[in-house]
Amino acid sequence: MTSAPLQCSVRTCGASLESQGRTWRCTHGHSFDVAREGYVNLLQPQDRRSAQPGDPAEAVAARAFLGAAGVGRALNQWLGDRVSAEAGLAADEVLLDVGCGTGDTLACLAEGCSCIRVGIDLSTDVARRAIRRAPGATIVVANADRHWPLQAQSVTVALSLHARRHPAEAARVLRPGGLLVVAVPAADDLHELRQALHGAGSTRERLTAVIEAHADGFHCEAQVRVRQTLWFEPDTLRALLQATYRGQRTQAAERATTLSGMWVTTASDVAMLRRG
């Protein structure tokens, strides 16, 4: 199997990394050992914002719990159908999930393609979960806000699903004609929960700004809203709060303890952006 086209993250290097057993090594002698769990950590000291980069362990656990409860399933199923139809990924082509989280999307997409799957996240806790959830994928710890550690024009499809975006890096790593799929929360995302906690829902539209931010190098081929409504018991609602609303905030956390079960809508606005 062809290895992922990773790039050395050492400052001023950027050479290609080659997989050599349990080590990734570049031609300049920089090497990165594969962790016992199976991921590779390319995070450099200058890319760290704290001693423990990434989301808190509680938030990561909440997101894993939500994934098991079905949150995100509709988006992943839509992606599986649409990406396969649009891209038709071959075995030697690369699918990149930036901000891959606990690996649900990479696991779902493995069912429809035999391509090289790569996930990037800032958290080692997330990486451990992702490699278990999506065996066979290459999981990389890196700060994608600053740099995507892949070779130029090496990616056929890149995903940024409710994650931070980097238009310049997307344009660099995607091959001409490659596809960037961006998903952001729709205006009615979690509106029942927002209503219960705050007395008002959101009406914010985010996708237009995303498309404009990628106008240099990409053109938008399609926009779609993917929506699902699920019944959530109180424990799932609290996990949703912790994963999405920063559940450590005292006022919101106190209100959450009074919630009973309810139907909650999750909705994503998705743009399919083609690299020129």
Each residue's pLDDT expressed in tens, for the chain with a length of 276 residues: 578 999 999 989 999 999 998 999 999 999 999 999 999 999 987 666 655 666 777 888 888 888 888 889 999 999 988 877 776 788 899 999 999 999 999 998 887 678 999 999 998 999 999 999 999 999 999 999 999 999 999 999 999 999 989 999 999 999 999 999 999 999 999 888 888 877 766 678 999 999 999 999 999 999 999 999 999 888 888 888 888 655 445 566 566 677 888 999 999 999 999 999
Residue 202 burial (CB count, 10 A): 16
Strand bridging mode 138-141 / 174-185: unpaired
Q: Per the structure block, which two tokens stand in for 85? A: 């139809």
Pick the CATH number of 17-275 from 3.40.50.150, 3.90.280.10, 2.60.40.1930, 2.60.120.10: 3.40.50.150
Mark 246-270 as b/e (b = at least 16 C-beta within 10 Å): ebeeeeebeebeebeebebbbbbbb
pLDDT single digits (tens) 69-120? 888 999 999 998 887 777 678 889 999 999 999 999 999 888 767 899 999 9
